[in-house]
Amino acid sequence: MTQGVAWLPAAAAEVYDLALSIKYMGDPAFNTGNADMAFAKWDDTLMFIKNTLKHNEMMGTRLEVEFLCQIHALECMVHIEQELFFFSDMSIRLIGRKYEHIPKAAA
């Protein structure tokens, strides 16, 4: 139990589930080529995690390591997906040709 507060582990699991569901809304958008929607949902996920952890610190509570590890792992996963986006062909429209190995589109 987290500092004797019985509802806190359940709340941490709920935070993780909500953040994961927000992230999952961005994944199909990425798969269908809708980069704007994917980035919006991934940014929403990161902001949700950041704000939730900030409010948790303001309350003076500390989550157990198991819960924090899962939440931070999800945060890392979203950051990795955002970085992988820049290596995909969808990023050419947003940031231009960044790497020489990306072929020019036939005009």
Instruction: Quote the CA–CA distance of 46 and 40 in Å, as a whole number.
Output: 10
First-last CA distance in the chain: 62
Which residues span the domain enclosing 42? 22-92
| Most confident region among 19-23, 30-34, 66-70 by mean pLDDT | 19-23
Whether residue 1 has pLDDT greater than 50? no
Question: How high is the mean pLDDT of the chain?
Answer: 76
In a domain, 10, yes or no: no
Residue predicted with more confidence, 94 or 21: 21
In a domain, 34, yes or no: yes
Q: Decide if 25 contacts 45 (C-beta within 8 A).
A: no
- pLDDT attached to residue 47: 92
Q: Would you list the DSSP string of 64-88? A: -HHHHHHHHHHHHHHHHHHHHHTTS
Beta bridge partners of 2: 5
- pLDDT attached to residue 68: 80
In a domain, 105, yes or no: no
- pLDDT attached to residue 38: 86
In a domain, 4, yes or no: no
In a domain, 106, yes or no: no
Reading the block at residue 27, the tokens are 């994944």
In a domain, 53, yes or no: yes
Give the total number of structural domains in the chain.
Answer: 1
In a domain, 3, yes or no: no
CA neighbor of 85 nearest in space, from 41, 38, 40, 53: 38
Q: What is the pLDDT of residues 62-97, one digit of tens each?
A: 667 777 888 889 899 999 988 887 777 665 565 554
